[in-house]
């Protein structure tokens, strides 16, 4: 996951992007004035933030459909607007080789696909 990916996801979450070693003024961002949050999408909080934002925006179903259409996970089963197969849920909860939560990486890819009009 690149810093550009992290920036896009962080801003999608409605937060100010603070790259590593961002110059802070007493721990606060000089741009937004909030306490610095630097998301690397390797923590449970980052996973939860992405999942909650999908649900909050009413995009969980669309995201799941994109997974099925793009065949990102092969055999994802979609029923009643929720993932219900244990294997697919476990897959979304897993980490990539770089240590990022797979859901976070896929949300980044989904946002890119939306921007390119593949919605």
Tokens of 66: 């994109």
Measured distance CA(56)–CA(95) in Å, rounded: 23
Return the pLDDT at 66: 83
DSSP annotation of 82 reads E
Stated pTM of the model? 0.76
Return the pLDDT at 3: 82
Give the pLDDT confidence of 103-119 residue by residue, as tens digits. 999 999 999 988 887 54
Give the pLDDT confidence of 20-41 residue by residue, as tens digits. 555 556 666 767 777 666 788 9
- Please give the radius of gyration of the chain, using alpha carbons only, rounded to the nearest integer: 15
Give the pLDDT confidence of 53-102 residue by residue, as tens digits. 999 999 988 888 888 766 555 555 444 444 455 666 778 888 999 999 99
Distances (CA, A) of 91 to 9, 13, 14, 81: 20, 22, 26, 18
* Residue 56: count of CB within 10 angstroms of its CB: 11
């Amino acid at each position: 996951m690149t810093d550009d990916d992290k920036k896009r996801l962080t801003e999608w979450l409605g937060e100010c992007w603070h790259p590593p070693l961002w110059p802070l003024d007493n721990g606060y961002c000089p741009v937004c004035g909030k306490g610095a949050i630097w998301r690397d999408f390797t923590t449970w909080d980052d996973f939860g933030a992405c999942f909650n934002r999908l649900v909050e925006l009413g995009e969980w179903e669309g995201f799941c459909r994109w997974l099925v259409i793009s065949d990102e996970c092969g055999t994802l089963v979609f029923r009643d607007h929720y993932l219900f197969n244990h294997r697919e849920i476990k897959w979304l909860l897993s980490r990539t080789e770089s240590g990022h939560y797979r859901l976070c990486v896929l949300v980044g890819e989904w946002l890119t696909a939306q921007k390119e009009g593949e919605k």
